[in-house]
Chain A
Amino acid sequence: MSGRLVNILDGNTFVVSDESGDVEANLTDPTGLFSFDTRFLSTWVLTVNGERLNPLSVDDLHYFETRFFLVPGTGTVYVDSKQSITRVRRVTAGFHEEITIMNHDSVPAELRVRLEAGSDFADLFEVKDALAKQGTYSARVEANRLVLRYERDTFWRETAVTPDQPAAIDEHGLTFDVRIPPHGSWRVAVDVDTSIPVLPGRRGRSRDAMERGLERWIAGAPKLDCDWEPLAATYQRSLVDLAALRFSPPIAGGLRHNLPAAGLPWFMTMFGRDSILTSLQALPFLPELAETTLQALGDWQGIQRDDFRDEDPGRILHELRYGELTAFEERPHSPYYGAADATPLFVVLLDEYERWSGDRRLVRELEPEARAALRWIDEYADLQGNGYISYKRRNEETGLENQCWKDSWDSISYSDGTLPGFPRATCELQGYAYDAKVRAARMAREIWHDPDFADQLEREAAALKRRFNKDFWLDDRGYYALALDADGRQVDALSSNIGHLLWSGIVEKSKARSIAKHLLGPRLFSGWGVRTLAEGEGRYNPVGYHVGTVWPFDNSFIAWGLRRYGFKHEAAQIAAGILDAAVFFDGRLPEAFGGYERSATKYPVQYPTACSPQAWSSGAPLLLLRTMLGLEPNSDHLQVDPALPVGIGHLALLDVPGRWGKFDAFGRGTVRVNGRTGLRQQLAAASR
């Protein structure tokens, strides 16, 4: 499908169409109506008198609603049309679409309106990997509705298409023969409902309820006041996108609140890593995400050894799926546990959540889960018996090779570009383990009333830090190795992972300046942000998924790390680059963008198949606001220590929620006057 794609979504139901509102998906296109990882419509085409319609404009009314303005005919020369058509589409448990045809002529119009409907019921994994189906399809016409069905053994999914006007219905769609008086109009509303047997009675919310829900969500978040206008737009966009990605999966426990789905189109489900990191980014703004994420991930914590799912006792899940391949255990996502970072990060989030919210109840409630997670670090994750977390999949067929956030096949390499064997102990995992132990020690001492356990954790953390700074440090280059390989040898590529080490606190003070210099140096810093892999490394590629692109989420945690070690201005420089980039994406940061030098391209080059919106990219501006203002909970107070990039003169965040109630944070910075006019004012450009 060519041209711009239009998305609407609500939680894990979404519709991707062309600018006419039509869908004509082939197997590998991620277009159509999707819900719970299954495509429920792959064909949805509107014609009038056999003609396709031309888009005049598309209004994105809300994240869950779009309006298409169309005229008949597909000619290249525009001729005044006698009719115009609008389609207003809103996501429900499927979608609701209202089609209105206006007759602008002085004579009646006799029209045949046709809606072609079909579904391949593809599992999202089949779309991603272009796999063939094994079940059977059928279609049946019932009293004024068309039902499309797919079944395989006891598994079935159905799509029902129901118009509110009489229609001639066949197995491939609906036909309306209409007569519209001069200057009159005709309308029909069509409901597309999706049925999943194990999730009966899913209903979409009404339009009003969705609008009110969004208003409440925005109203509950702190207000931003800033003299650099693009930031307000980016902030608003982030809040709305996080609302759109909210997800209350019934099979994940029917909890009180929502947790973030990871991102459109491939990752509209619960991910351990993504949900935790997004919740961390959003803590000062939308703390309820953290609460739900912790509870849901706790309920799904691994309790046994299961090689197919790479499950261990205490391990936090990686990914939970609902589609056909998962149902038939042709994929292990029920759930799949192959992440080496989610488990220590679960403990990190629990502590950070309490430091902000003061919610000791949840820390007490999740004590068994936190202890099981800590046991996993020591007993199950230390595959080499050397005291480090490492990973090697036990599901060789469909498990993940790289179980860190850079999970593509070539993400972990030596400087010369060769790939290490398994197990691999990437550096940031050790940082997370250290942080988890330090934070758990605080919880053990203050909340679980177990000072012996606290002492033990602190001893272990200190020992880990000492060993790590010896074993991972590349003395001649002044940075930490990306990983240790199966022989304990250093995987020596320079990567953004060293920024996560600052965030974790595992970096010895004497080494921090050298790390900061590398992060902001020419090999890693593109001007927009820190590249995943440094220029000059064997596998560096500015449009390589994890080997040279810039990831906004990655940068937000690097900025947090820089702040932790006192590098305020360096953190502000990263914030400036990423926030500048956001302006080029209308405030919606993609998953990743190209690692090209800023001065060479002038604008950030979007990575070709990047997911958008993506939860942790939407969360990045929130965490950058936190780092720019230097927000830090300090017992019952919120500490503020601003360091703003040049170009922001004034930044206020009002009503920051936390254990202090609500608190206003203010920052002042410098603005260069008499700058060149006529250019979009960019932050990092001003300071470079």
Chain B
Amino acid sequence: MPAVHGHVTQPEEFFAGLAQRGREPLLEKATGVIRVEIVGADGAVERWIVAIDHGDIAVSHRNVAGDCRLRMSHEVFERIAAGELSARAGMLRGAIEADGDWRLLVLSQRLFQLGEERQP
């Protein structure tokens, strides 16, 4: 199994980190809107919209459909943000529902890897 990291990242922290980043060269090929839905234990859905324009990242809560969509439980989100679970393995496992533009989905996995790298 992959290495387990210690820090628990909450969505607010994770997406704030992305927004702060502003520009990410590794996402230069990506343009589109990713809708991330995080389902809490109580069934409430937290929505995050990550708009990428040739590597420029903007984060919001706007209610838009997006070019692709990722839906996961809060617990799965934490594990991915902590680098315990790869986003792609999560998709294959059915722990993440994913649909929409597949190229954007592939590149969007880098968001989570970057999230992990940002940790001290």
Contact = CB atoms under 8 A, between A and B. Distances in A.
Contacts of A51: none
B95 A154 contact: yes
A445 to B, nearest CB: 23
Contacts of B46: none
Contacts, number: 78
Contact of A198 (B91, B103, B116): B91
Given A303-B26, A329-B85, A200 B99 contact: yes
A326 B25 CA distance: 29
B103 A253 contact: yes
Contact of A299 (B93, B103, B116): B103
A303 B110 CA distance: 8
Interface string B1-38: 11100000000000000000000011011000000000
A183 B107 CA distance: 61
Contact of A308 (B1, B101, B113): B1
B2 A252 contact: no
A366 to B, nearest CB: 9
A155 B101 CA distance: 22
Given A303-B113, A304-B113, A368-B28, A329 B89 contact: yes
A328 B103 contact: no
A346 to B, nearest CB: 15
Interface in A513-555: none
B65 interface: no
B108 to A, nearest CB: 11
Contacts of B96: 198
Given A197-B94, A329-B85, A368 B102 contact: no
Contacts of B88: 251, 334-335
Contacts of A463: none
B64 interface: no
A323 B106 CA distance: 17
Nearest to B88: A334
Contact of B107 (A198, A299, A323, A329): A299
A251 B117 contact: no
Interface of B: 1-3, 25-26, 28-29, 85-86, 88-89, 91-99, 101-103, 105-107, 110, 113-114, 116-117
17 contacts: A153-B94, A154-B95, A155-B92, A156-B94, A197-B97, A198-B98, A251-B105, A251-B106, A253-B102, A254-B103, A298-B29, A300-B106, A304-B116, A309-B2, A326-B92, A334-B92, A365-B29
Which 8 A-B residue pairings sit nearest by Cβ, starting from the closest?
A: A327-B92, A254-B102, A154-B94, A327-B93, A308-B2, A253-B103, A334-B89, A198-B91
Given A334-B88, A335-B88, 20 more contacts: A153-B95, A154-B94, A154-B95, A155-B94, A198-B94, A198-B96, A251-B102, A252-B106, A299-B29, A299-B103, A300-B106, A303-B113, A304-B113, A306-B2, A308-B2, A308-B3, A329-B1, A329-B89, A334-B86, A334-B92
